[in-house]
């Protein structure tokens, strides 16, 4: 599974520019689904069918887009000003490298007048994409953060664990799941980082009875850090609430029962800031019973998003048990 994760986290794909990561995922799931389609926004919908006319429809969704930046101005020296695509933290950007769709790599710099002890504004940062010649980057081009995967024992460190790790989990479930009494739509959604958009249109097409997002969540296990009862290595987290959603009690119960039946540890998550595809899936059509299975992740929205390999493995086992078991609507 590590090599799948490596391919996913190292691939370019800011929100609205998911073509390269979509191609990688399509290659990874080739032959694993009964039907595969791409909707108008660009989300992948891959079906595993039960063959039963009265089967329950379950939708899983993990987003393939990542945070990034879009060029707003190119000065005469070729330095690039940019705006955010999704949630960028200016205090984490200085000195980091970025990758454009054509392979151009740039470095983020800061205006000289900014104090070393202050936090710069995005408007005070620029991208240096010079290579001694005139580069081809233009206004409107998008970049993602650029960093390779590092494996440190059980800890996996990379940019875009949010949410390529959710995509990797879905791919592993698709590879492992042989028989299922449900019709399952595995969705790899677009534009989550800019408003949970892809999952909403995909859920309208799928019309599920149950929907589960697979995404990352923050942790409360760093010194003097965020106060939250989620930690790395203690199992995937079953979301109860976040800033945009109250998870459906039926889905919480489904996941808790599956965790116990699979004999895997799990945590209960209440997230004060942030949300997932579940919030948009929940409100489609006449409403959908929706929840989220979260992978604890330190340093979210940086180039060093960190997860624990055991949490990932246990998430796969939980989802396998849930999908293999009968579900009553």
150-152 β-sheet, strand order:
150-152, 155-158, 305-308
Neighbouring residues of 37: CB distance < 8 A, sequence distance ≥ 6 = 44, 45
- Catalytic member of 18, 192, 193, 269: 192
Residue whose pair of structure tokens reads 């609205």 in the numeric block: 16
Largest CA distance in the chain: 67
Assigned token pair, 45: 């919908």
Q: Is 193 tagged catalytic?
A: no
Cβ proximity of 289 and 251 under 8 Å: yes
Count of other CB atoms within 10 angstroms of residue 77: 8
- Dihedral-angle region of residue 88 (phi above 0 means left; psi in -120 to 50 means alpha; beta otherwise): beta
Closest CA relative to residue 80, chosen from 69, 64, 67, 68: 69
Please classify residue 312 by burial: count the beta carbons closer than 10 Å to its beta carbon, then call 0-12 exposed, 13-18 middle and 19+ buried. Answer: buried
Residue whose pair of structure tokens reads 């996941």 in the numeric block: 255
Residue whose pair of structure tokens reads 């097409």 in the numeric block: 205
Catalytic residues: 192
């Amino acid at each position: 599974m590590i090599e799948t994760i490596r391919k996913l986290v190292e691939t370019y794909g800011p929100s609205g520019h998911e073509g390269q990561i979509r191609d990688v995922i399509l290659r990874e799931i080739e032959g694993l689904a009964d039907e595969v389609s791409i909707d108008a926004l660009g989300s992948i919908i891959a079906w595993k069918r039960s063959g039963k006319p009265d089967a329950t429809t379950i939708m899983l969704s993990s987003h393939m887009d990542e945070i990034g930046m879009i060029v707003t101005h190119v000065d005469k020296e070729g330095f690039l000003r940019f705006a955010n695509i999704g949630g960028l933290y200016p205090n984490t950007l200085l000195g980091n490298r970025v990758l454009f769709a054509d392979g151009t790599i740039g470095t983020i710099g800061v205006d000289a007048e900014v104090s070393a002890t202050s936090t710069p504004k995005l408007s005070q940062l620029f991208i240096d994409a010079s290579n001694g010649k005139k580069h081809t980057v233009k206004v409107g081009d998008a970049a993602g953060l650029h960093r390779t995967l590092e494996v440190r024992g059980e800890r996996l460190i990379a940019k875009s664990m949010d949410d390529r790790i959710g995509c990797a989990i879905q791919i592993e479930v698709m590879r492992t799941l042989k028989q299922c009494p449900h019709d399952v739509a595995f969705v790899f959604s677009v534009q989550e980082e800019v408003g949970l958009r892809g999952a909403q249109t995909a859920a309208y097409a799928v019309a599920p009875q149950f929907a589960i997002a697979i995404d990352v969540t923050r942790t409360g296990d760093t010194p003097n850090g965020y106060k939250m009862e989620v930690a790395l290595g203690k199992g995937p987290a079953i979301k109860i609430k976040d800033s945009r959603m109250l998870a459906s009690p039926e889905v919480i119960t489904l996941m808790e029962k599956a965790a116990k039946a699979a004999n895997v540890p799990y945590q209960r998550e209440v997230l004060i800031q942030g949300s997932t595809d579940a919030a948009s899936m929940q409100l489609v059509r006449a409403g959908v019973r929706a929840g989220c299975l979260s992978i604890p992740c330190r340093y979210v929205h940086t180039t060093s998003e960190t997860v624990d390999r055991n949490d990932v493995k246990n998430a796969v086992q939980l989802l396998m048990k849930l999908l293999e078991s009968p579900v009553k609507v």
